[in-house]
Structure 1
Amino acid sequence: MIRAAMAACLALALAACATTGDAAAAHPEARAYSATADATAEVDAALARAATSGKRVLLVLGANWCHDSRALAGWLETPRFAALTAQAYDVVFVDVGTPQTGEGRNLDIARRFGLADMPGTPALLVLTAEGRAVNLDTAASWRNAASRSEDAIFEELVALAGESG
Protein backbone atom coordinates (compact mmCIF):
# COMPACT_ATOMS: atom_id res chain seq x y z
CA MET A 1 0.00 0.00 0.00
CA ILE A 2 2.78 2.42 0.91
CA ARG A 3 4.66 1.58 -2.30
CA ALA A 4 1.54 2.23 -4.37
CA ALA A 5 1.02 5.58 -2.65
CA MET A 6 4.67 6.53 -3.19
CA ALA A 7 4.47 5.51 -6.85
CA ALA A 8 1.33 7.60 -7.29
CA CYS A 9 2.99 10.60 -5.64
CA LEU A 10 6.05 10.24 -7.85
CA ALA A 11 3.89 9.99 -10.96
CA LEU A 12 2.01 13.15 -9.98
CA ALA A 13 5.24 15.00 -9.22
CA LEU A 14 6.77 14.04 -12.53
CA ALA A 15 3.57 14.96 -14.36
CA ALA A 16 3.71 18.41 -12.78
CA CYS A 17 7.05 18.95 -14.48
CA ALA A 18 6.12 17.44 -17.83
CA THR A 19 4.46 19.13 -20.77
CA THR A 20 2.89 17.73 -23.87
CA GLY A 21 2.27 18.77 -27.42
CA ASP A 22 4.36 20.99 -29.65
CA ALA A 23 5.95 22.92 -26.79
CA ALA A 24 8.72 20.33 -26.56
CA ALA A 25 9.89 21.20 -30.06
CA ALA A 26 9.59 24.95 -29.46
CA HIS A 27 12.46 25.36 -27.03
CA PRO A 28 16.07 24.30 -26.60
CA GLU A 29 17.06 22.04 -23.73
CA ALA A 30 20.22 21.80 -21.65
CA ARG A 31 21.41 19.66 -18.79
CA ALA A 32 22.91 22.31 -16.55
CA TYR A 33 22.29 20.91 -13.07
CA SER A 34 25.11 19.10 -11.26
CA ALA A 35 24.28 16.87 -8.32
CA THR A 36 27.94 16.86 -7.27
CA ALA A 37 28.62 20.61 -7.35
CA ASP A 38 29.15 22.55 -4.13
CA ALA A 39 26.04 24.64 -4.66
CA THR A 40 26.47 26.72 -1.53
CA ALA A 41 29.99 27.73 -2.56
CA GLU A 42 28.78 28.58 -6.07
CA VAL A 43 25.96 30.78 -4.71
CA ASP A 44 28.29 32.52 -2.26
CA ALA A 45 30.82 33.19 -5.04
CA ALA A 46 28.08 34.60 -7.29
CA LEU A 47 26.91 36.93 -4.51
CA ALA A 48 30.50 38.12 -3.99
CA ARG A 49 30.86 38.80 -7.72
CA ALA A 50 27.50 40.61 -7.75
CA ALA A 51 28.68 42.89 -4.95
CA THR A 52 31.42 44.23 -7.20
CA SER A 53 29.70 43.98 -10.60
CA GLY A 54 26.32 45.47 -9.71
CA LYS A 55 24.56 42.48 -11.29
CA ARG A 56 21.83 40.37 -9.79
CA VAL A 57 22.19 36.66 -9.10
CA LEU A 58 19.88 34.45 -11.14
CA LEU A 59 19.47 31.32 -9.04
CA VAL A 60 17.93 28.51 -11.11
CA LEU A 61 16.78 25.64 -8.90
CA GLY A 62 16.06 22.57 -11.00
CA ALA A 63 17.16 19.12 -12.06
CA ASN A 64 18.24 17.36 -15.23
CA TRP A 65 15.39 14.83 -14.93
CA CYS A 66 12.87 17.67 -15.30
CA HIS A 67 11.75 18.71 -18.77
CA ASP A 68 10.88 22.24 -17.63
CA SER A 69 14.23 22.66 -15.85
CA ARG A 70 16.09 21.58 -19.00
CA ALA A 71 13.97 23.94 -21.10
CA LEU A 72 14.75 26.95 -18.90
CA ALA A 73 18.45 26.07 -18.90
CA GLY A 74 18.31 25.72 -22.68
CA TRP A 75 16.82 29.16 -23.15
CA LEU A 76 19.47 30.68 -20.90
CA GLU A 77 22.19 29.24 -23.17
CA THR A 78 20.83 30.84 -26.36
CA PRO A 79 22.59 33.98 -27.67
CA ARG A 80 19.63 36.24 -26.85
CA PHE A 81 19.48 35.17 -23.21
CA ALA A 82 23.25 34.88 -22.87
CA ALA A 83 23.56 38.56 -23.82
CA LEU A 84 20.98 39.52 -21.19
CA THR A 85 22.55 37.42 -18.45
CA ALA A 86 26.05 38.66 -19.29
CA GLN A 87 24.81 42.21 -18.82
CA ALA A 88 22.48 41.84 -15.84
CA TYR A 89 22.98 38.53 -14.02
CA ASP A 90 25.41 36.08 -12.54
CA VAL A 91 23.69 32.74 -13.23
CA VAL A 92 23.92 29.78 -10.85
CA PHE A 93 22.24 26.43 -11.55
CA VAL A 94 21.46 24.45 -8.40
CA ASP A 95 20.41 20.81 -8.59
CA VAL A 96 17.53 20.26 -6.16
CA GLY A 97 16.82 16.61 -6.95
CA THR A 98 13.12 15.77 -6.61
CA PRO A 99 11.81 17.91 -3.75
CA GLN A 100 8.24 16.96 -4.70
CA THR A 101 8.86 13.40 -3.49
CA GLY A 102 10.98 14.17 -0.44
CA GLU A 103 14.19 13.39 -2.34
CA GLY A 104 15.39 16.96 -2.61
CA ARG A 105 18.89 18.29 -2.14
CA ASN A 106 20.27 21.80 -1.70
CA LEU A 107 16.86 22.91 -0.42
CA ASP A 108 18.65 24.83 2.34
CA ILE A 109 19.73 27.24 -0.39
CA ALA A 110 16.12 27.94 -1.39
CA ARG A 111 15.16 28.42 2.27
CA ARG A 112 18.17 30.69 2.84
CA PHE A 113 16.63 33.21 0.46
CA GLY A 114 13.04 32.85 1.67
CA LEU A 115 11.66 30.14 -0.60
CA ALA A 116 10.26 27.76 2.01
CA ASP A 117 8.39 25.41 -0.33
CA MET A 118 9.23 23.99 -3.74
CA PRO A 119 6.11 22.29 -5.10
CA GLY A 120 7.85 21.58 -8.40
CA THR A 121 10.87 22.29 -10.53
CA PRO A 122 12.31 24.55 -11.69
CA ALA A 123 12.11 27.53 -9.36
CA LEU A 124 13.87 30.76 -10.15
CA LEU A 125 15.10 33.28 -7.60
CA VAL A 126 16.54 36.67 -8.47
CA LEU A 127 18.82 37.97 -5.74
CA THR A 128 20.37 41.33 -5.04
CA ALA A 129 24.07 41.37 -4.20
CA GLU A 130 23.01 41.50 -0.54
CA GLY A 131 21.17 38.21 -0.96
CA ARG A 132 17.63 39.59 -0.91
CA ALA A 133 15.20 37.81 -3.21
CA VAL A 134 13.22 40.26 -5.34
CA ASN A 135 10.71 37.75 -6.73
CA LEU A 136 9.56 35.48 -3.91
CA ASP A 137 5.98 35.87 -5.13
CA THR A 138 6.80 34.25 -8.51
CA ALA A 139 9.88 32.14 -7.74
CA ALA A 140 8.00 28.83 -7.60
CA SER A 141 5.83 29.60 -10.65
CA TRP A 142 8.42 28.46 -13.20
CA ARG A 143 7.26 24.81 -13.18
CA ASN A 144 5.77 25.43 -16.63
CA ALA A 145 8.94 26.88 -18.18
CA ALA A 146 8.80 24.53 -21.19
CA SER A 147 5.38 25.83 -22.18
CA ARG A 148 6.23 29.53 -21.80
CA SER A 149 7.20 31.48 -24.87
CA GLU A 150 10.72 32.72 -25.42
CA ASP A 151 9.48 36.31 -25.37
CA ALA A 152 7.53 35.85 -22.12
CA ILE A 153 10.57 34.39 -20.36
CA PHE A 154 12.85 37.08 -21.74
CA GLU A 155 10.50 39.92 -20.75
CA GLU A 156 10.17 38.59 -17.21
CA LEU A 157 13.94 38.31 -16.82
CA VAL A 158 14.41 41.85 -18.16
CA ALA A 159 11.86 43.14 -15.64
CA LEU A 160 13.48 41.21 -12.77
CA ALA A 161 16.92 42.57 -13.68
CA GLY A 162 15.84 46.05 -12.70
CA GLU A 163 13.10 45.38 -10.15
CA SER A 164 13.75 46.94 -6.79
CA GLY A 165 11.75 44.25 -4.95
Structure 2
Amino acid sequence: MKKSSAKKGKSDKKIKELQCTEPEESHPEERGEEHSEELKNVDPTMFDGLCDRMLSALCLLQTSVSEVLDVKDELILQNVPSCVQAQLSLSTSRLFRSLTDLYVPTTELARLVRIFGPQWEQKRQILEQLQGEHERLHRLLALALQRIQHLESQVNMSHPYPQEIL
Protein backbone atom coordinates (compact mmCIF):
# COMPACT_ATOMS: atom_id res chain seq x y z
CA MET A 1 0.00 0.00 0.00
CA LYS A 2 2.91 2.34 0.62
CA LYS A 3 3.99 1.77 -2.96
CA SER A 4 0.60 3.01 -4.17
CA SER A 5 0.70 6.19 -2.12
CA ALA A 6 4.29 6.87 -3.17
CA LYS A 7 3.45 6.49 -6.87
CA LYS A 8 0.27 8.48 -6.49
CA GLY A 9 2.18 11.20 -4.66
CA LYS A 10 4.66 11.41 -7.55
CA SER A 11 1.95 11.78 -10.18
CA ASP A 12 0.05 14.29 -8.02
CA LYS A 13 3.27 16.27 -7.59
CA LYS A 14 3.83 16.30 -11.36
CA ILE A 15 0.30 17.49 -12.00
CA LYS A 16 0.54 20.19 -9.34
CA GLU A 17 3.63 21.51 -11.12
CA LEU A 18 1.36 22.38 -14.02
CA GLN A 19 -0.75 24.92 -12.21
CA CYS A 20 -3.82 26.20 -14.04
CA THR A 21 -2.76 29.75 -13.51
CA GLU A 22 -2.44 32.46 -16.05
CA PRO A 23 1.06 33.80 -16.66
CA GLU A 24 1.90 37.22 -15.42
CA GLU A 25 1.30 39.89 -18.00
CA SER A 26 3.90 42.45 -18.81
CA HIS A 27 2.26 45.84 -18.63
CA PRO A 28 3.96 48.69 -20.51
CA GLU A 29 3.34 51.02 -17.57
CA GLU A 30 5.40 48.73 -15.33
CA ARG A 31 8.30 48.85 -17.79
CA GLY A 32 8.22 52.63 -17.90
CA GLU A 33 6.59 52.73 -21.34
CA GLU A 34 3.39 54.54 -22.15
CA HIS A 35 0.55 53.65 -24.48
CA SER A 36 -0.07 55.86 -27.45
CA GLU A 37 -3.33 57.80 -27.41
CA GLU A 38 -4.81 55.67 -30.20
CA LEU A 39 -3.97 52.46 -28.36
CA LYS A 40 -5.93 53.64 -25.34
CA ASN A 41 -9.05 53.82 -27.51
CA VAL A 42 -8.80 50.09 -28.29
CA ASP A 43 -10.38 47.67 -25.82
CA PRO A 44 -7.44 45.91 -24.12
CA THR A 45 -9.59 42.91 -23.15
CA MET A 46 -10.79 42.04 -26.65
CA PHE A 47 -8.71 38.86 -26.81
CA ASP A 48 -9.13 37.90 -23.15
CA GLY A 49 -12.08 35.64 -23.93
CA LEU A 50 -10.06 33.69 -26.46
CA CYS A 51 -7.08 33.39 -24.12
CA ASP A 52 -9.31 32.40 -21.21
CA ARG A 53 -11.01 29.66 -23.25
CA MET A 54 -7.66 28.30 -24.41
CA LEU A 55 -6.22 28.25 -20.89
CA SER A 56 -9.43 26.73 -19.54
CA ALA A 57 -9.20 23.94 -22.13
CA LEU A 58 -5.59 23.37 -21.08
CA CYS A 59 -6.67 23.08 -17.44
CA LEU A 60 -9.38 20.57 -18.39
CA LEU A 61 -6.77 18.57 -20.28
CA GLN A 62 -4.50 18.63 -17.23
CA THR A 63 -7.34 17.36 -15.06
CA SER A 64 -8.07 14.56 -17.51
CA VAL A 65 -4.42 13.53 -17.65
CA SER A 66 -4.33 13.51 -13.86
CA GLU A 67 -7.30 11.14 -13.84
CA VAL A 68 -5.62 8.89 -16.42
CA LEU A 69 -2.46 8.80 -14.29
CA ASP A 70 -4.52 7.83 -11.25
CA VAL A 71 -6.16 4.99 -13.20
CA LYS A 72 -2.73 3.88 -14.42
CA ASP A 73 -1.43 3.80 -10.84
CA GLU A 74 -4.38 1.66 -9.76
CA LEU A 75 -3.95 -0.73 -12.70
CA ILE A 76 -0.25 -1.19 -11.98
CA LEU A 77 -1.12 -2.27 -8.44
CA GLN A 78 -3.46 -4.95 -9.79
CA ASN A 79 -2.32 -8.31 -11.04
CA VAL A 80 -1.61 -7.11 -14.59
CA PRO A 81 1.11 -8.69 -16.73
CA SER A 82 4.40 -6.81 -16.65
CA CYS A 83 4.39 -6.14 -20.41
CA VAL A 84 0.97 -4.43 -20.04
CA GLN A 85 2.26 -2.47 -17.05
CA ALA A 86 5.29 -1.33 -19.04
CA GLN A 87 3.19 -0.34 -22.06
CA LEU A 88 0.72 1.50 -19.82
CA SER A 89 3.52 3.35 -18.05
CA LEU A 90 5.19 4.32 -21.33
CA SER A 91 1.95 5.50 -22.90
CA THR A 92 0.91 7.60 -19.93
CA SER A 93 4.40 9.06 -19.57
CA ARG A 94 4.30 10.11 -23.26
CA LEU A 95 0.89 11.65 -22.69
CA PHE A 96 2.15 13.55 -19.65
CA ARG A 97 5.29 14.65 -21.53
CA SER A 98 3.15 15.94 -24.41
CA LEU A 99 1.04 17.91 -21.96
CA THR A 100 4.06 19.48 -20.29
CA ASP A 101 5.54 20.31 -23.71
CA LEU A 102 2.26 22.00 -24.64
CA TYR A 103 1.90 24.02 -21.42
CA VAL A 104 4.74 26.55 -21.84
CA PRO A 105 4.07 27.56 -25.46
CA THR A 106 0.34 27.79 -24.80
CA THR A 107 0.68 30.08 -21.81
CA GLU A 108 3.31 32.15 -23.63
CA LEU A 109 1.01 32.46 -26.63
CA ALA A 110 -1.83 33.64 -24.38
CA ARG A 111 0.50 36.16 -22.73
CA LEU A 112 1.68 37.54 -26.07
CA VAL A 113 -1.84 37.77 -27.46
CA ARG A 114 -2.89 39.75 -24.40
CA ILE A 115 0.07 42.08 -24.78
CA PHE A 116 -0.01 42.60 -28.54
CA GLY A 117 -3.71 42.02 -29.24
CA PRO A 118 -4.71 45.67 -28.83
CA GLN A 119 -1.90 46.73 -31.16
CA TRP A 120 -3.13 44.21 -33.77
CA GLU A 121 -6.62 45.60 -33.46
CA GLN A 122 -5.32 49.17 -33.77
CA LYS A 123 -3.42 48.28 -36.95
CA ARG A 124 -6.50 46.52 -38.35
CA GLN A 125 -8.55 49.66 -37.76
CA ILE A 126 -5.90 51.82 -39.43
CA LEU A 127 -5.82 49.48 -42.44
CA GLU A 128 -9.62 49.65 -42.70
CA GLN A 129 -9.42 53.46 -42.67
CA LEU A 130 -6.72 53.42 -45.36
CA GLN A 131 -8.77 51.04 -47.48
CA GLY A 132 -11.85 53.24 -47.12
CA GLU A 133 -9.83 56.33 -48.09
CA HIS A 134 -8.35 54.47 -51.07
CA GLU A 135 -11.81 53.43 -52.28
CA ARG A 136 -13.10 57.01 -51.88
CA LEU A 137 -10.18 58.44 -53.85
CA HIS A 138 -10.61 55.75 -56.51
CA ARG A 139 -14.28 56.73 -56.94
CA LEU A 140 -13.34 60.43 -57.16
CA LEU A 141 -10.68 59.68 -59.75
CA ALA A 142 -13.12 57.59 -61.81
CA LEU A 143 -15.69 60.42 -61.63
CA ALA A 144 -13.09 63.01 -62.67
CA LEU A 145 -12.03 60.81 -65.57
CA GLN A 146 -15.66 60.46 -66.69
CA ARG A 147 -16.08 64.25 -66.59
CA ILE A 148 -12.92 64.78 -68.64
CA GLN A 149 -14.10 62.23 -71.20
CA HIS A 150 -17.53 63.87 -71.32
CA LEU A 151 -15.98 67.34 -71.79
CA GLU A 152 -13.71 65.96 -74.49
CA SER A 153 -16.67 64.47 -76.35
CA GLN A 154 -18.54 67.80 -76.06
CA VAL A 155 -15.55 69.69 -77.44
CA ASN A 156 -15.27 67.22 -80.32
CA MET A 157 -18.99 67.62 -81.08
CA SER A 158 -18.83 71.41 -81.13
CA HIS A 159 -15.76 71.39 -83.42
CA PRO A 160 -16.27 68.52 -85.85
CA TYR A 161 -13.21 69.44 -87.89
CA PRO A 162 -9.86 69.79 -86.21
CA GLN A 163 -8.33 73.21 -86.62
CA GLU A 164 -4.78 73.65 -87.67
CA ILE A 165 -2.50 74.94 -85.01
CA LEU A 166 -0.48 77.95 -86.06
- Would you tell me which structure has more strand in proportion to its own residues? 1
Larger Rg: 2
TM category, shorter: under 0.3
- Would you tell me which structure has more helix in proportion to its own residues? 2
Q: TM-score, normalised on structure 1? A: 0.23
Q: TM-score, normalised on structure 2? A: 0.23
